[in-house]
Structure 1
C-alpha cells in the first residue's frame, strides 16, 4: 500500500479546492478476527445480495469500496441523533461494536453528530486499505476530514458473512499531526490480529488497551506501565482539565480518575512493519469526594442534570466513554496513541 504524505494536521495533503482522493494502490485486509454482531440488510449499505459461496465472490475494486464506505457513513450519520429504542435499532443496522456503543450513548446524551462524536461532518471518504481476497470476513479502512475542525477520522467497516453488508465497527478522530503507519505492502495484505494474542507484537492489543488506561489514571500511578507511552494530546488534555478541577476544589474535595479498558469489541490488524493498530474503548470514572471542611458541593448545571441533584454532601461520580486508536510496535518499543475522543454519559451522587 502506498502511504499518503501527511500535513501538520495529520491528514493527506491536498491543493486548495481539491478533494481528498482515494489511495490508488491499497493493501489487502485478509481478515481472521471474528467478533459478536448482528447482520444487516444489504440494501442499507447499497450492496447487491452477496453470493452464497465466498470462494465465488469477487473482491471490491477501489471504486466499489469508496461507494460502500460513503453509503455506510451517510447511513450512520442519518440515524446518529435518533432517540429511544427506535434510534438504537436503526443504528444497529449500520453499526456494531464500539462504534454502536458510542453512537447510542451520543444520541442518548443529546449531542449533535457534527464534529462532537466520532463520525465528523459529512465529507468524501478516502479508502486507505481494503480486503482483496475472496474470503470472509472482509474489511475497509477509510478516513474522512472534518473541514470545520481540520480533524481526521479513521473508520473501520467490516462484512463478516457473504449475506451481511458492511457495517461500521470503529470510528475515532485522530490527533492533530498524528499519522497512521503504512497498513500493508501492496499484495501482502494486512490480516486482523486477535486482540487477546501477542502474536509477534510488543504486547497484545488487549494488554495495550489496559496499559494505556492505567497510564492515564489520576493521581498518576506510582509506577508507569511498562511499554506504554502516554505523552500525547489526549493525556495532556485530561491532565490540564483535572488540574483545573483540583485547583477549583482546593481542599473542599478530592478528585480521582480511573480509566478501564473494555476490549471485548476491540479491532486490531497488522501493519506493514509487523506492528499493529488497535481500535478500542475505555470507560473513565471521575470521582469527587467531599472533604471534612465542606458541608456540600453545588454542582454546575451539566453535572446536576446527570446526577439528578443540584448538591452532593458525600461524593459524585461521572462516567465517560473514550474510544482510542493505539499503535503497537513489533517485538519492542512503546505503545502510542494516535487518536481518541471522550463523551460524558452518566453520573450519580450522594
Structure 2
C-alpha cells in the first residue's frame, strides 16, 4: 500500500455491525456503533434483570460486578481502578468535576476554543451559580504542540484560574492536543486540569496515569465498541475525597468511586457489557484496527478534499498517527453558524444517504469524517463525487 492508498479491509469486520447498508456511516465519532456481539451481550444482561429485578439490583453481587468491570476498563486505559469511576459519558463527568471543584466568587474556569460545546454550557451554568467566570483561550488550528502549550501557559492566572479544561482529541476540529505537557505547565501554576478524552479510548494509545491530570474522562462507547452510556472518569488521589456524586444513593457512605457509580435503578447493562466491546476490538486486533482507521480517514479526507477542489496543503493534520477523524474546510460562506451546520448535515443525510459531522468553528464550516472497521473506500469516493453538486446548489 503506497502513501495515499486506502487500506485493505479488515476481513469480516463489516459483518460485525448492524448498520443500515443503505447509508454510508462516516460519523462513528459522534455516537459510535455497537457490534452485534456486544448488543447481544447487553441483551442477555437485560434479560437477566427482567427475569428477577429484585435479585439483580439488591443482590450484593451487583456492586462486585461493577467493580470488576471498572477494573477491566481501567486496566485497558492505564488508569488506577481504585481512583476511577464508571459514568454515563464525558458530559456527566464534566458536571461532576465542576460541582466538586467548588468554585467561589472571583474564580474562573479556562477552556479552549476547540472544546466540546456542551462543556461550555456546563461551565457557564456552574459559574453563574457560584459567582465565577468562564474564559476561553484561542488556539490556531495549525498551532504546533509547543505553540499550544505556550498559549495555555500565557492564559493561566495563578490564584484565579481554578480549573483548566482541555480536550485530548478535540471534537469540532479533530486536533490532538499535547495534554501531558499542558498538565505539567498547569501544575507549575497549581491549576487543576480536567482532560476531556471522549474520543481517546480505543482510538489512541493512552496511559491515563502517566498524563498526570487531576481529572481525565474517556468514553468507551465511541471507539472501544462499548454500549452507549459507558465512560471512565479517573481522579487524582488528592481529589478523590472531594468528589461528590450528582445524585446521592445507597452507596453514598462508601465514598468515591462507588458513591458515584451506584445510582439505584439506572441501567447498568451498558457498563457490564463493555468488556465484550474490548474483546471484539482485541479479536480484530487493536493495532490493526487503529492502523486501518487512521489510513482510511486520511484517504477519505484526501479524496473528499480533492472533490471540493482543495489542495493537500489545505487539509488539516490531526497531530497523531492513529487519529481516525479528519476535517475539511467547506467553501466560504457555507455552514458558518451551528444551525446552518446542522441543516447541512441533515441535507447530506437525506440526499446523499451519508452520515457525517458538520461543525461551525472559527467563522467557517467544517466537514468531519470518521473511519471505522466497517467503512469502505468507495463510501468516501461517492461522497467526493456527490457532495460538490449539493454544496453548489446552496449558493
What TM-score comes out, normalization by structure 2 length? 0.28
**Bigger fraction of residues in strand:** 1
What TM-score comes out, normalization by structure 1 length? 0.31
- Using CA pairs below 8 Å that are at least 6 residues apart, which structure has the higher relative contact order? 2
**Bigger fraction of residues in helix:** 2
